[in-house]
Every structure is written in structure tokens, then in C-alpha cells.
Structure 1
Amino acid sequence: MKPLYFDYNATTPVHEDVVQAMLPFFTDQFGNPGCGHMHGLEARRAVDQARQSLAGLINAQADQIYFTSCATESNNLVLSGLLESGDEMIISAIEHPSILQPALELAKKGIVLKIAPVNKKGLIDPDQILGLITDKTRLVSIMLANNEVGTIQPVAEITSKLKSKNVLIHTDAAQAVGKIKVDVVQLGVDFLTIAGHKMYAPKGVGALFMREPGLLKPLLYGGGQENALRPGTENIPYLAGLGRAARLAEDLDQEGARQLTLGKTFITGLARINPEFVLHAQNASRLPNTMSVGFGNYLAGDILSGMITCNLSASAGAACHGNTQKMSSVLEAMGVDPYYGLGTIRFSWGRMTSEKDIDELLNRLEYIFKTFLQK
């Protein structure tokens, strides 16, 4: 039975074009970009090209892109490199742990943390953010697209409402870049986080967009790479891969429409199978590749067990700890009924997913619900 992968929001496969772009830098083109000889200059050209490609993808300038090891590093760099004791920051109730956890740590050190709620669609009300602003607010950090339910937040509207305020705005766009159009000019943000392994590059490479230089203090000190914001010898193969992954997104309109069609096929077919279910954030603007489905009166762990026996990979929106079943913090923040929340599975697909894969997914889910999970 062919393995089927429907967990692209956890990590994407590395695209073959990306692999090919990386390979020379593991062998012949091994130079250090800090060196002025031929091998170093080859490496420097690769770094420059990757920076230009990533900047072009998000409508930024090349010198506004700072390479990091991952989205978690980029997020920590913004929060810890900016905030000082007494500053206030605002995040949403559905942020990724790489925002929430450093924010909680900073709160122990005198940062005032405010958490904005979301509605049942998983969306933030920009007016609520505006209402939380004081003259001590230094940073607002709101993710662009949610990793669990796929909701796309009104970041541009938030920045517009805060234009007259002396506040910096960050968006964690790890789940958005490479999936939907992301334009830092339209968004109006000061910082934007990118994750390579969510857009067909390898794990271990990411980036941070910073609108103006000097806004952040470095967390590390060393050789001065990345304008001294993120020192350390550059990971040339991975940066070459990230740059190539950025160029994959040149067909984003067409590919996004294709993935949206796959989702319509999936949800229509699921209705025919007829398990009791809800599509979380159904009427919200969502990523074209993401559907978080709550199956009524089932537990996510049981569904995943059936999926494992059928060579299906996806992620749960609820977890089992001993004898305790618990929904994810995102579903809890959205006020999802546990009847559906505890049976939530997130399906996410991507460039390598075909219509045939969707059909086979539905066939295997039908077997799981009608045979493996028969009540």
C-alpha cells in the first residue's frame, strides 16, 4: 500500500529542484563566502542569489532579508532582540509555541504580555488589538496563517489601524510564504518570519524580513555575518535550497488554485463517506492546502491509529495524555465543542499531491470509519 502524506503543514518534502540546487555546494562548490578567492566568491554569489530570490518572493529589498536557521530562531530574535523590561507586547491566543513560549519567558523578566482572543472562526478582530494598545506597547506579533486550521489573519488591516501608533508589528508567516501571496509592502509589517521547510526547502534554514536596519539587538556575537545580526558561517547548501524554493513559487496563483480544488474534492468526498464531522473555520479565509476536520464522537488518537494501519500520515488537533483527552490550544481558543474537537485531524497537502492521492485518501478513510472504527 503506497504511503500517502497529508501533513505538509508539519513539513514539506524537499522538492527535487531544490535538492539539485543544493548538491554542488556539498561537493565542488564548498567555499566560505567570507573568503576573497574563487571558492569564496562562488559561495558569496549563492548567498546573494538566495537573498534576492527570497526578497523577490515577498516584495522586499535584498538587504531587508536576514538568514537564520529556522522560524523559531527568527521569532525569538524579534522578541528577545527588541523587548526590554517594562515594554508591552500583544500576541494572539493562537500563536505558534515559538512565539508564545519566548513571550511567556520574557513576561518573567518584566515584559507585559497581552493575549488577544480569536472568534469561533479563529480570526482576530483588529479593533480588539487597537483597544489593547497603550503608550508602552512596543510590539504586536500576529501570525499570518495558522498552522492548525489554516485561517489567514487580517494583518494588513491591523497594521493600517495601528499606523498612527508608535508600535512595531511582526508576523510569523512560516505557514504562508510559498503557499499564498505574501507582500510585505501590502502587509505593512516591520518584521516577517519565514521557514524553509514549510516551502519545500530542507529543515534547518529560515529567514527574517526586517524593514529597517538596527531595530534588533543580536542574540549572538561573532564574525559579523548577516550585518552582525546573526553571525556564524553561512550554511551555503541550505541557503541555495531556500533560494530555489522561493523561485518555485513563481506559479503560486496556478498552484494555489489547484490545491484549492483538491480541498473541494476532499471535503465533498468526505461528506459522501458520511462520518459526522465539521470543518473548523469553514467560513473564514484559509490556506488553500489546509483542512482541520473535527469528527464527532471520535478520538483523534483512535483515528490516527487507523490511519497508520492504512499508511496515511496527518496530524491530530487533540492529544491523549494518560487517560486525559485534550484539545489543542488553538481549538480551545476558538471555543470548539469537544464533541468535535477531540476528534480533530488536520489534513494538509501540497505540490506533490495529486487528484489520485485525494481519491485514495478518501477510499482509505472510508475503510477506517466503516471497518476499523465501526461502533
Structure 2
Amino acid sequence: MSAIDDYPVLEHPVTRTGAKAAALQPRLADLKVAALRQCLERHQGDRQLVILQDFPDPDALSGAWAYKLMAQQYEIQCDIVYAGMLSHQENIALVKLTDLPVQRWPLSIAQNKDLSVYQGVVFIDNQGTTSHLTCLLHSADLPVIVVIDHHSGQPHFGAEFVDIRPHIRATATILTQYIQAGLLNLDPSITQHVKCATALMHGLRSDTNALQQAQEEEFLAAAYLSRYYDPQLLSAILQAARSKSVMDIIERSLRNRLIHNNVSIAGVGYLRYENRDAIPQAADFLVTEENVHTAVVYGIARDEAKGLEMVVGSLRTTKLTFDPDEFLKEALGQDSQGRYFGGGRSLAGGFEIPLGFLTGNQEDSTYADLKWQVFDQQIKHKLLERIDPRS
């Protein structure tokens, strides 16, 4: 058995620098392509479940679609699913305008699904820690076949193939590289291929702030996709209007922001669970303020149908030396099972903190106000302690 069969987990060689690392990249890329091709060949004819984070973004949606098309070359049928909501206006437009084949599986529906029809699970743009479906799949003893992500590494479930590259700015970039390597031959005469290429272009564009934070890999991927994508379709996706609820939350973040050491922190109070994508949009807006390099926005999201509440937050930064993953993990810590409440990638991060026993009593406005004050002050304190230990 070859070394690549023994060790299919191929991550960025962070311990190597300079010319050695540069020389290693082509070889690593070839090994990754070979390993994924072998993995797909081993599972020819299977049916797989592709899991996205609960609130999938364009990077996740497009990457999952690209994987599905690649797997089809090996007669592997994939169902792309997520447990949460599509609430960001661009995400809704992306799915509707491209007919992107994704299904919403809330836990109430997923629990009644016959999971025995699947032979394995695939995680794209996540590692299972941001999906409420993970525990259900684990209890069904479904093996994890593939993990492809650009976020910092998390404990995973012994997947056959793992490609985690935190130095890459978008998972769409990684999938485009696999396509370029021949795992899928894009054909501009096939409508589905054109729409997928457009989705990938949107994915890498959205995760690099319209390519302003792109690196060489993203520009090379975009150059390749430019032969196949539909500019008019992408323009229509990007022109989706912000809803009034999103604008209200952005306004709240402006009104409540606290700026300390060039970091803007804003609590926006309560919001509906389906509007939680307004949080990262507010962070995107606050980080554009003069003399601000990092913005953190958070609020308590209520899922009234399930009677659940959780603090959700997003971080955006323009400071290249700022590590969102390290900052949020150290500031917010872990739960009783050792899972971090927050994490991130280059220039962006997010967090979720369940309220547990304190959930509920929405009809009591005094109690709700007190609860928000406690969480608002506690989160601000933890963040400020990391920004300036003397504060």
C-alpha cells in the first residue's frame, strides 16, 4: 500500500517555510487529487449524504454542488442537506436562480429519514461541528468518507479522505482545483455546469470580500472559472435586496457599538432565528468604519418553533495578523464536551452559545431584558479581556 493510502489526511505543511514549502505544493496537490480519486473509485455506486453547516453560505453551497457533480462521474449519488435556514438574501437568490440541488432537513424531519439508504457522509466547508445533524448521523453509524474545508482543523471522525487547508481563503477554491485537475470536465454547453461554475465564482468571491482578500490560489481559480460562469446570472444573485429586518439589525449594531483598541463590539439584542444571517452582514458593515480593523456583532437568536435560544455572533477583520480562530477560541472557551463555542478562518469567524436552562420566558419582558444584559456584559467582558487584558 502506498503512503498516500496510509495517510490520506493531507493538510497544509505549516511547519515548512520558504522555498521548501513552495516546492512541496505541486506534489501535495497531485497527492490530494490522487487520494480523492482513489476514494471516489472505492465508493463507486454508493449513495452519500453531503452535510453543510446549519446556515450554509455560498462557499459551502457551491462546494457541495461541485463535489456532487464530481461524484456523479463515479456513479455516486449525493444528497446535499442542511438543518438550519437559508436567510441571507444572496444565499436564497443563489439557490433559486441556479436551481442548486440542496434540501433543508430540520432535525424533526431528519429523525424520520431512512438513513440506511446511505453508505457514507461527506462534510464540505465544515467538519461536522456546525451542523445539528452530526449527532444523528453518528448514532446511525454512518462512516465519514470525505471532509473538505478551509477552516482550522477540528476533531473529526476518522474520515477516509480529509483535505483541510486553512491557508486557502475559500473551500470553493479547493473544489475548483480538483475540477482543474480533471475530476470533472466542465462543459460550457451544459447548463448545470455553467450554473455550478457561477456558484463557485460567487463562493470564492463572497469568502474573499469580492476578491479584495484573495490570494494567488483564488485568482487562479477565478481565472479558470471565468471560462465557464455566467456573468449576468452572478450579477442577478449579487443584486438581491436586503430585507427590512437585516437593515434594522445593522442599525442596532451601529447604535450599540463600543470601540476599543480599533475593535468594534456590538450587541443587537434579540432576533428571530431565521434572521441570524443579519449578524455577519452587520459585522461586514461595522468593519468598514474608519480606524476599525475588527468588528464583532452578536445577539440572542430565538427559534420560537423549537423553543430554543442561543447567542450567535460573527467576527470580521481586515488586519492580516489578527487570528479570528485563536481569538474566539481563547475568549469564549469550550463547552462541557470540549467543543469550542467559536472558531474561524482567515479574516472571519463566528460563534454559538446555547442558553440552556435560561431559555424561554419570552412573555416576561423584564426577565428577557435582564437575561440580555447578563449575556451582553459577559460577552463584552470576555472579548475585551482578550483585546486588552487590562480592561
Report the TM-score, using the length of structure 2 for normalisation. 0.33
Normalised by the length of structure 1, the TM-score is 0.34
With CA pairs under 8 Å and 6+ residues apart, which has the higher RCO, 1 or 2? 1
